[in-house]
Amino acid sequence: MPEIIGVQFKEKGKSYYFDAGQLSIQKGQMVIVENAQGIDCGKCVQGNHPLPEDFDRPLKKVVRVATPQDLKRIEENRKKEEEAFGVCLEKIEKHGLEMKLVSVEYTFDGSKILFYFTADGRVDFRELVKDLASVFKTRIELRQVGVRDEAKMLGGLGICGREFCCSRFLNDFQPVTIKMAKEQNLSLNPVKISGTCGRLMCCLGYEEEAYEYLNRITPRPGAAVKTPRGKGVVAERSILTGKVKVRLDVAPESLPETFDCKDVKLLEKRPAEGGKESAPEKEETK
């Protein structure tokens, strides 16, 4: 059975499988491979291991372990990217284009330069491409990315004070909805639940499954319940502590008493607000 390795081309990006052939490659080593972009250099994030039985896609082989000359070329490409970034900014201003340059990437062999940008709508950059091609004498490709991709590329600190999740460990962006904030009883103020990118924070989805479960097993305010002290109506609840405050029928004017959810039995389901089912939440994608 062939052995494969996992290779990552961008820091915190996706990893891809390649056929290791007869090579023994350790995690952390740089390798030269052939991918859709051509010859490229990536970092091994998973050393030699057997090919999964359910994996049926064809794999390209690792060309070689990166040599000192290969690593030197990578460093040279990084410097060229900085220069190309400045040149592109000048050309964008010259052509008066409504676009924001985010990042520049040289392919390993220098056969193509990719310019990543954001824009509010479609941008006619044909003249810009011609201008850049005349300067760099190689293939030019401009790719429009979303604001979440921009945040992932540039990095930064979130309102929690830590590095952006997308820059630190997220490989894919999962849909995030306003329903998640409602389930977690968070303020629906956009400023408080949006990330620096302006979209709903990715971390809203981390504990969504747990909140959905707790919301199902914890009686909602207004629900009729039976407690060890008699019947009553739920006045408040705390799904994280698993406690509810119940206004007992025997003492409707008294303060609600606190019970554990396991000691409370739901008598009837509380009708949906307005007597209608709420409309499905619209997903926010990148």
Question: Rg for the chain (alpha carbons), in Å?
Answer: 27
Tally Cβ neighbours within 10 Å of residue 83: 11
CA–CA distance, 11 with 153 (Å, rounded to integer) = 9
Digit-coded pLDDT (tens) for 63-94: 899 999 999 999 999 999 999 999 999 999 99
Digit-coded pLDDT (tens) for 148-207: 989 988 889 988 889 998 888 887 888 899 999 999 988 899 989 999 999 999 999 999
Digit-coded pLDDT (tens) for 116-145: 999 988 889 999 999 999 999 999 999 999
Q: Which two tokens stand for residue 114?
A: 């990719």
Per the confidence metrics, is the pTM higher than 0.75?
no
Average pLDDT over residues 35-44: 83
pLDDT of the residue at 281: 43
Mean pLDDT across the chain: 86
Tell me 19's DSSP state: E
CA–CA distance, 37 with 107 (Å, rounded to integer) = 7
Tell me 203's DSSP state: G
DSSP 148-209: HHHHHHH--B-TTSSB-HHHHT-SSPPPEEHHHHHHTT----HHHHB-TTSSBPGGGGTTHH
Percent of the chain predicted with pLDDT > 90: 47
pLDDT of the residue at 1: 61
Nearest to 129 by CA among 81, 83, 82, 97: 97
pLDDT of the residue at 84: 95
Question: What are the structural domains, with CATH classification, of the chain?
Answer: 3-66 (no CATH), 72-145 (3.30.300), 152-210 (no CATH), 219-270 (2.30.30.30)
